[in-house]
Amino acid sequence: MKRAAWIAIALIALACAASEPPDTDFSAGAWIAGARAAHARADTALAQGQADRARAALQAALEPPPPAALRAEHVRIVRQDLLFRLSQLELAQGATESARALAERGLALGRAEDAFTLNLLAAHGRALAALGRDTQAASSRQAALAIHQRLLRIARERQGAGKP
């Protein structure tokens, strides 16, 4: 499943789980759609071997401020996913210090027991390992693994209970 679809699913799930009705402000939907479109442009650019275009698309999606109507958790998720992609791209291009800084920027937005935090912690660990900072890399990887294990346990419990 494409990354944009996963983002959409995560945002829908968060909206459904919220105690308030989901945001109906058009600008919130447009902001999220802009991030989704940036991921699609980055995918296309990477498929064509154009890492600079992919980077530019993802960075541009981080620039517009989020609409006030959008919940902080949704903003965190969208921005963390963009920063994770940028960190991965930088690491693939050998820009390990930039990859580390992008992962830390994403983690500074907040942490949760979710795939977005897990991805950033894993990216952070890979960047630190590439920089030769093995002890710090192990710490980030261990934190990512702990989240992964909790998410896996929750998924297994739901599967055992017959929940999707």
121 burial level (CB within 10 Å; 0-12, 13-18, 19+): buried
Q: Determine the Cα–Cα distance for residues 50 and 59; give it in Å rounded to an integer.
A: 15
> What residues make up the domain containing 153?
3-10+24-160
| Residue entry with tokens 């907040």 | 110
Residue pLDDT, tens place only, 54-80: 999 999 999 999 999 899 999 999 999
Whether 17 is covered by a domain: the verdict is: no
Give residue 126's pLDDT.
97
Whether 148 is covered by a domain: the verdict is: yes
Whether 16 is covered by a domain: the verdict is: no
Residue pLDDT, tens place only, 7-26: 545 545 444 444 444 444 45
Residue 164 binned pLDDT confidence (cut-offs 50, 70, 90): low
Averaged pLDDT for residues 30-56:
96
Whether 104 is covered by a domain: the verdict is: yes
The structure tokens listed for 55 are 């980077």
Backbone CA torsion sign across 155, 144, 120, 3: negative
Whether 18 is covered by a domain: the verdict is: no
For the chain, the average pLDDT equals 87
Does residue 38 carry a pLDDT above 80?
A: yes
Whether 15 is covered by a domain: the verdict is: no
Whether 32 is covered by a domain: the verdict is: yes
Is 25 strand, coil or helix?
A: coil
Whether 105 is covered by a domain: the verdict is: yes
Domain with 148 in it: what CATH number? 1.25.40.10
Domain count, the chain: 1
Averaged pLDDT for residues 135-144:
96
